[in-house]
Structure 1
């Protein structure tokens, strides 16, 4: 993979006057032997590694011209890591604190490039698709001030005012932070994700989520509007989905007969189809390609028009070029949540098929109305026990008895004709949940099955 990166980054080297991947490789090597500020060195090396995965996407020398200064930043990062090789305990004690601030400064510079590269890569592709005619690549300044690219810089005072001092909680994402409702001065409603102040993992999540979300433009992916990085505060601002999440309507606080998602199979399949199309965009068309790693019914939001929008990119990763799977750090609580790919839990390696598995669980949620982990009565132990929804529902589906686990709220007694599109969804879900990733369908096939199911529902017209 690294050889391919080096070849593809030649245009960047010509424009920026530096060998970026060579410097990134040196930073990684130096971090391995650091004795002082070791965690800072490792963190900086990871940030540089993220940049290395993005640089091969720049195949347009004109667009890459916005990377002026990249060489100086990488050289500064390398010198800083090398200076941590160790010169005795006394020197380490007196310099550790001042170096920590230097690390923060260099990381901020690298983060700015993590935001720039996907955007200018997208511009380069647009220029080629339009026959060579495209707007000139924006400067770093124009990217910072242009809200269309989701890079608006909010002050903490603006965020505090918009959220009425973080008064209304929309959701608590655990270690990754809390999401609040807000309203900007222009009247626009927003979702404000506030990461836990001072948490090092939050710093990683902040940079990754911004870098991945910034270039994404899709009808079924939540829109990034801006950010705030002031002091220890890290905030991500996205478009607000006023109708909550799919989970809310299936078995949460919005589940009621007045909810179109609770009461309608058409609305449920539309939500699944939107989520599938979002994942398909990430796997096949995004630049660079993305593996979401967090597809759940809570990450499928519904806007004011009930259109589904995928969110929850805190654990997302760029797909490594030329490999079938790639090693990644585990997502906290993944095994207990019922959505995680068993193959990933066993091997520690993620692939696009991992998202397909998670989407399969969401499809089962929509069919059964149950959460991803269910509580059942065990006759043997004469007690309640928990099990995954896949373990609970798949035996009935594979035996051709979907009606045994089907949610009866949309239709109390479905006819054979009404069951036909739902059986299509159930069959697709069962294949998504194969234990081996290679046996699961590609996301484009899942989308095609959901499209067919929705067409049948709309054609029958009595759901």
Structure 2
């Protein structure tokens, strides 16, 4: 079975590296039924195409989140195997921790630490958006934490890992609003020496890098693009795609770039902040976001460079960033090379069958804000 072979490989690699034994374990289905009150509807945290996530409490009182696959299939089995393998390999304060898994019969469940403050999406656009719990300090901490987690995947994990689905619903928040990047079901390993992998397109349009959306070329640079979109979303409180009328949508980059060119950074800030933000940090976030979300992958920075810029560690590099040719006034409605991502009006893209088929567009609902994570 794919799951067994991949997961055993991960365990062997950990032993080879001399790592301390992982803290995850195998759960029984009976134990998870008990923890979630038989997967009671009242315990449901979110729902998506793969299935549902439930809150649960173990016998020792610790709280967990349980992702339960809806229907068993070879594809679902593979995503389950990939996510468990990656979570078993990696340990970082800004990545969601694996508590364990359950594979009994056709049931496939992944157990995580429960994140009391749910997802970033729930605070920007969902059930907690009106509570304004994300002040500027928390937003900056979430930005730096998310960047740290992705940097670990790209530069410190062996082999390197590309996430392929970086977005607000996949950034979870613990009790202190610290960021945990989640949902590795779409993740890919990058072999040493490889610049990209060609794969089926999966992810949310508005976050997808053009070369990935059109050609299926997935790389670390695609994650950098998605992270740039996420940075703008965190700073502005806007969604990646904004509906202007019945037939037109505008990308967040098309909206933000002219403001950045005119140095009107305060107009980018989320109105819910009421002007209470650190102007230099806001400027840094917006400029870094737009550099990340360029259409040409060769012009994007690495996550190591992104992290350094966000932390403001080099005044020289910040000066270079601000004087980048990107921030010369573009034509209205154009971004970088004259193209606009707003030309495509769909919010979700997932290629399920064959790379030669037309990709089906399925609108992502707000009810799935915590679905891939918790």
TM-score category (smaller protein): 0.7 to 0.9
Confirm whether residue 391 of structure 1 aligns to residue 254 of structure 2. Answer: yes
C-alpha displacement of 1:369: 0.5
Q: How does 1:94-113 map to 2 (within 5 A)?
A: 107=1, 110-113=2-5
Q: Could you state the TM-score of these two structures normalised by the residue count of structure 2? A: 0.78
C-alpha displacement of 1:272: 0.9
C-alpha displacement of 1:171: 1.6
Whole-angstrom distance in 2 between the partners of 1:408 and 1:162: 41
Taking structure 1 as reference, are residues 327 and 409 closer, same or farther at Cα in structure 2, changes over 3 Å only? same
User: When the two structures are aligned, how many residues end up with a matched partner?
Assistant: 311
1:372-397: CA deviation from partner (whole Å, max 9, x where unpaired): 221225xxxxx573232223322322
C-alpha displacement of 1:340: 0.7
The correspondence for 2:32, drawn from 154, 159, 162, is 159
Taking structure 1 as reference, are residues 258 and 423 closer, same or farther at Cα in structure 2, changes over 3 Å only? closer
1:114-152: CA deviation from partner (whole Å, max 9, x where unpaired): 22333432343347xxxxxxx7xxxxxxxxxx7x342x2
RCO higher in structure (CA 8 A, sep ≥6):
2
- The alignment partner of 1:180 has SS state of strand
1:37 alignment counterpart: none
Whole-angstrom distance in 1 between the partners of 2:266 and 2:84: 43
Whole-angstrom distance in 2 between the partners of 1:119 and 1:451: 35
Whole-angstrom distance in 2 between the partners of 1:310 and 1:238: 12
C-alpha displacement of 1:223: 0.6
Name the Cα RMSD after superposition.
2.0
2:174 alignment counterpart: 303
Q: Could you state the TM-score of these two structures normalised by the residue count of structure 1? A: 0.64
C-alpha displacement of 1:343: 1.4
- The alignment partner of 1:238 has SS state of strand
2:225 alignment counterpart: 357
Q: Is the 8 A contact 1:398 1:430 kept in 2?
A: no
The correspondence for 2:210, drawn from 342, 366, 376, is 342
C-alpha displacement of 1:184: 1.2
Whole-angstrom distance in 2 between the partners of 1:149 and 1:210: 13
Whole-angstrom distance in 1 between the partners of 2:59 and 2:276: 50
The correspondence for 1:250, drawn from 124, 129, 133, is 124
Confirm whether residue 184 of structure 1 aligns to residue 58 of structure 2. Answer: yes
Mind listing any 5+ residue stretches in structure 1 that lack a counterpart?
1-106, 128-134, 136-145, 378-382, 454-463
Q: Is the 8 A contact 2:269 2:275 kept in 1?
A: no
Q: Is the 8 A contact 2:3 2:80 kept in 1?
A: no
1:309-338: CA deviation from partner (whole Å, max 9, x where unpaired): 11011100111221111111111x533xx1
C-alpha displacement of 1:408: 2.1
Q: Is the 8 A contact 2:166 2:223 kept in 1?
A: yes
Q: Is the 8 A contact 1:269 1:450 kept in 2?
A: no
Whole-angstrom distance in 2 between the partners of 1:269 and 1:119: 35
The correspondence for 1:294, drawn from 146, 152, 165, is 165
2:46 alignment counterpart: 171
1:210-234: CA deviation from partner (whole Å, max 9, x where unpaired): 1111111100001111111111111
- The alignment partner of 1:409 has SS state of helix
Whole-angstrom distance in 1 between the partners of 2:4 and 2:311: 39
Whole-angstrom distance in 1 between the partners of 2:225 and 2:85: 25
Q: Is the 8 A contact 1:190 1:240 kept in 2?
A: yes
- The alignment partner of 1:422 has SS state of helix
- The alignment partner of 1:256 has SS state of helix
Whole-angstrom distance in 1 between the partners of 2:268 and 2:283: 12
Confirm whether residue 430 of structure 1 aligns to residue 293 of structure 2. Answer: no
1:336-357: CA deviation from partner (whole Å, max 9, x where unpaired): xx11111111221111000001
C-alpha displacement of 1:434: 0.8
Q: Is the 8 A contact 2:229 2:253 kept in 1?
A: yes
Q: Is the 8 A contact 1:361 1:390 kept in 2?
A: yes
Mind listing any 5+ residue stretches in structure 2 that lack a counterpart?
314-374
